[in-house]
Amino acid sequence: MATAVLDLDLSAAPADIAGLNRYDRALVLIRWCGHPVGVVELPVAGGRLDGQATRRAMIDRLDWAFWERWLRDRLGEPAPARRPATVAICTRERPDDLQRALEAVTRGLDDGDELLVIDNAPSSDATRRVVERFPVARYVCETRQGLDVARNRALREARWDVVAFTDDDAVPDRGWLRALLPPFADPLVLCVTGLTMPLELETPAQEAFERYAPFGRGFRRRVFDGTRDDPLAVGHVGAGANMAIRRSALEVVGPFDEALDAGTASRTGGDHEMFARILAAGYRIVYEPDALSWHRHRRAWPEVRQTAYGYGVGVYAMWTRLLFEAGEVGVLSRSLTWFFDYQLPRIARAASRRAGSPPVLLLLAELWGCAAGPWAYLSARRRLRRGLAAG
């Protein structure tokens, strides 16, 4: 059976929840006065959750993230002036996902905000037709294929200095954009990432993916500073499906590497490589869990296996880029540490069927992707350079 994804606020006592006959458990996002503070998994009995038992379980699950949020509310954080921003959705031939994403984003826009849809190497007019239903959105066609190509186009097209990126298969919370913006009051902050929760866990493949590679990075605000944090270890910083970047980063650290991420042989890695460059330059990245978004994981096993393989390719493609382009020899020791201290133990736990472990086939797919990563990046870089030379 599947897992119900629920969103409950402790500041209002939850009532009994019925209609869960299709589910044997529930993943509950815990909020306090609207702020995400934790998550708990509960069994579903008889198609329902008891309200009182659910509340007790939510309270028992709270940790320091809740008390930190409570203390910040009690002390009264000063609210910085709301600046207008640009939201960019980079998409390619997924009109149904895009429709849902645009509906969510437009609910959170304020006066003056800009919304861009970058249609990447389209093979039809499906994306344009969806965008035409949203007068607030501006359609931009980028004929060169690649997610990082589309991201760079969004940064060049943006009217405002802060550009918030969301994927077409994500559903940002109403307060998502407002939560991403305050950290940019610090001039050293070049990037802000947010909390990403699963939109649905309706299939075994989606549940396995959530165990394998959850997008959430916890419920406490964190500041990653290039003067003290390792720029080669950015997996815990966040994900490109939920991030905002200063447009001026183009001049400060350079554009996204267009030989990385979707649409290239590298498959992924463009967001993390940018995070690494920001930290290596001595700037800051803030992880803000109030910037909440919901991501629809791939529903079928072949898609999830390909995603795991692509993650492996992307990690080693990113490290190959840092080694050859930036001279970061530390990636050699970092790759060995990641293999022996993280990947092998995780595969061993999965092979022994330890509770909570992802399927071993996903971990092996990732490992196979790691082996392909260096060649994939070099191949993508050669193809990019040939394309640019050809005009």
Write out pLDDT tens, residues 268-304.
Answer: 999 999 999 999 999 999 999 999 999 999 999 999 9
Residue 385 CB burial class (10 angstroms; 0-12, 13-18, ≥19):
exposed
Q: How far apart are CA 167 and CA 238, in angstroms?
A: 14
DSSP assignment letter at 183: G
Dihedral sign, CA of 208, 145, 194, 322? positive
In tens, the pLDDT along 111-136 reads 999 999 999 999 999 999 999 999 99
Residue 81 CB burial class (10 angstroms; 0-12, 13-18, ≥19):
exposed
Residue 24 CB burial class (10 angstroms; 0-12, 13-18, ≥19):
middle
Predicted confidence at residue 387, as pLDDT, reads 86
pLDDT in tens, the chain (391 residues): 799 999 999 988 778 999 999 999 999 999 999 999 999 999 999 999 999 999 999 999 999 999 998 888 888 877 777 889 999 999 999 999 999 999 999 999 999 999 999 999 999 999 999 999 999 999 999 999 999 999 999 999 999 999 999 999 999 999 999 999 999 999 999 999 999 999 999 999 999 999 999 998 999 999 999 999 999 999 999 999 999 999 999 999 999 999 999 999 999 999 999 999 999 999 999 999 999 999 999 999 999 999 999 999 999 999 999 999 889 999 999 999 999 999 999 999 999 988 889 999 999 999 999 999 999 999 999 999 998 888 7
DSSP assignment letter at 267: -
Coil, strand or helix at 234:
coil
Q: How far apart are CA 367 and CA 152, in angstroms?
A: 30
Place of tokens 């992802």: 358
In one letter, which amino acid is 51?
A: G
Fold of 86-299: Spore Coat Polysaccharide Biosynthesis Protein SpsA; Chain A (3.90.550)
Q: Helix H segments across 237-281?
A: 249-252, 270-280
How many C-beta atoms lie closer than 10 Å to residue 17's C-beta?
19
In tens, the pLDDT along 177-218 reads 999 999 999 999 999 999 999 999 999 999 999 999 999 899
Q: How far apart are CA 147 and CA 153, in angstroms?
A: 10
In one letter, which amino acid is 357?
A: S
